[in-house]
Amino acid sequence: MTNSKAAAGFGTLAVHAGQEPDPTTGAVIPALSLSTTFAQSSAGVHKGYDYSRSGNPTRNAFEVAVAALEKGKYALAFSSGSVTTATVLNMVGQGGHVVSVNDTYGGTFRYFTKVAKRNGVEVDFVDLYDPNNLKKAMKSNTKIVWIETPTNPTLRLVDIQAVADIVHSHPGALLVVDNTFMSPYFQTPLTLGADIVVHSVTKYINGHSDVVMGMAITNSDEIRDELRFLQNSIGGVPSAFDCFLANRGLKTLHLRMKRHEENAMAVSKFLEAHPKVGEVIYPGLASHKQHELAKRQQKGFGGMVAFRLKNGDLDASNKFLSTLKLFALAESLGGVESLAELPAVMTHASLTPEAREALGVTDSLIRLSVGVEDAEDLIADIETGLDAAIP
Ligand SMILES: *Cc1c(COP(=O)(O)O)cnc(C)c1O
């Protein structure tokens, strides 16, 4: 379904897109439609739904809403960000080639290197800090170029427009952008030339750390038809209940993202001025190497911050993390509550030590998902942690 309120502002769309009052009851919130099957008036004649894997009203309402926010015509929901990746990769087929940015999400890296390979898909990883590196990596059988920006956990940016131009000079190649870190509030890659945007809805879109879900968004009828076919055939669809929750979360995305950013900026500035802190990585800081690109490509800088304890080692990092009270020591990101983690030991443990070294994922690198609490409380918590880590 396409949506009729495409001209409205972000907050208006977040609240209203796909959320028509129920024609029979007037309910302003789309019903939680748990039915797996739908009555037909005669064989093959139905009201648009026949079986809940193929289509579900609650899921549909959520898909319409996310499509509107990403400035796409179509969105398809999946049961996780990971199965979204797997389903999109199923477009490639045996003998196809994929180019991926080198510091991609760990689960995506695992899928590319361990699963896609088994299915006869070859994946090359390329440093796209300079987009021109992509030119040498493209092959005649390249079907997908996969990027994330900012990347995880070192928040390096990729110039989406520059990459899209290179991809589209190769017939048959598509650009996929994992937009999980920015959310559509801060970045809409389809408007910069991406063919498909994917999300781990688990993170900012749902925003409350209680749903695992994924989404793919596109403007192309052809891509939509292919992904619909794969979604229905592979069957990695989310439950109606999860769609109901994520749709509820989506309605405050603009409010949350604004606050995530304000807090992340305050935390970054505090860290940058602190004598026990080395490098602070946040695209909103003038010291970020790609601050200009961030300003041009994004509408804001997001809620993720990474920093290094000055002269820190594993022991200091552990002391810091175990002293925090407000920041939970946990993987994942994008929820209302603040989280802290040690990528070298947690999210990026599956990388080889050499790969971690190359990406700058040291034992002193700490990643924060800054939540929507009060900034002064978060800063006080971090200050206590720093005092404990480095006496
Ligand atoms: C979490 C995450 C994924 C995977 O999504 P799941 O919902 O956990 O399967 C993919 N990409 C990024 C950037 C993520 O943060």
Please report, for residues 7, 10, 17, 74, 236, the alpha-carbon distance to residue 65 in angstroms, rounded to integers and kept in the order given.
13, 11, 5, 10, 20
Kindly report the backbone phi and psi dihedral angles of residue 144, in degrees, each rounded to the nearest multiple of 5, phi listed first.
-140, 135
CATH number at residue 154: 3.40.640.10
Residue from 2, 10, 9 nearest 256 by CA: 10
How far apart (Å, rounded) are the C-alpha atoms in residues 372 and 378?
10
So what's the pLDDT on residue 351? 82
- 184 and 66 in a single domain? The answer is yes
Residue 5 forms part of a structural domain: no
Ligand 1 pocket test: which of 78, 79, 80, 82 has the largest number of ligand atoms within 8 Å of its C-beta?
82
How far apart (Å, rounded) are the C-alpha atoms in residues 220 and 45?
27
Residue from 245, 279, 285, 278 nearest 261 by CA: 285
Choosing from 250, 276, 296, the residue where a domain stops is 250
Provide the token pair at 212.
Answer: 């695992």
Choosing from 250, 272, 297, the residue where a domain stops is 250
Tens-binned pLDDT, residue by residue, of the chain (391 aa)? 344 445 699 999 999 999 999 999 999 999 999 999 999 999 999 999 999 999 999 999 999 999 999 999 999 999 999 999 999 999 999 999 999 999 899 899 999 999 999 999 999 999 999 999 999 999 999 999 999 999 999 999 999 999 999 999 999 999 999 999 999 999 999 999 999 999 999 999 999 999 999 999 999 999 999 999 999 999 999 999 999 999 999 999 999 999 999 999 999 999 999 999 999 999 999 999 999 999 999 999 999 999 999 999 999 999 999 999 999 999 999 999 999 999 999 989 888 889 888 899 999 999 999 999 999 999 999 999 999 999 8
Catalytic residue flag (residue 5): no
- 186 and 126 in a single domain? The answer is yes
Task: Kindly calculate the radius of gyration of the chain based on its CA atoms and give it in whole angstroms.
Answer: 21
How far apart (Å, rounded) are the C-alpha atoms in residues 292 and 257?
20
So what's the pLDDT on residue 290? 98
Range of the domain at 75: 10-250
What is the distance in A from the centroid of ligand 1 to the CA of 279? Answer: 26
What is the distance in A from the centroid of ligand 1 to the CA of 42? Answer: 42
Provide the token pair at 255.
Answer: 């409010």
Please count the structural domains in the chain: 2
Catalytic residue flag (residue 53): yes
- 168 and 33 in a single domain? The answer is yes
Which atom in ligand 1 lies closest to the alpha carbon of residue 83?
Answer: 9
> Which residue has its alpha carbon closest to ligand 1 atom 1?
200
Residue 41 forms part of a structural domain: yes
Pocket of ligand 1 (CB under 6 A): 80-82, 105, 107-108, 148, 152, 178, 180-181, 200, 202-203, 212, 214
- Residue 295's Cβ-count burial label (10 Å; 0-12, 13-18, 19+) is middle
- 149 and 276 in a single domain? The answer is no
Please report, for residues 266, 274, 326, the alpha-carbon distance to residue 382 in angstroms, rounded to integers and kept in the order given.
12, 11, 9
How far apart (Å, rounded) are the C-alpha atoms in residues 4 and 1?
10
So what's the pLDDT on residue 355? 86
Catalytic residue flag (residue 299): no
- 43 and 184 in a single domain? The answer is yes
pTM, rounded to two decimals: 0.96
Provide the token pair at 125.
Answer: 């990883």
CB 111 within 8 A of CB 86: yes
So what's the pLDDT on residue 61? 97
Residue of 203, 259, 276, 319 with catalytic role: 203
Residue 170: DSSP 8-state: S
- 244 and 263 in a single domain? The answer is no
Provide the token pair at 294.
Answer: 């961030």
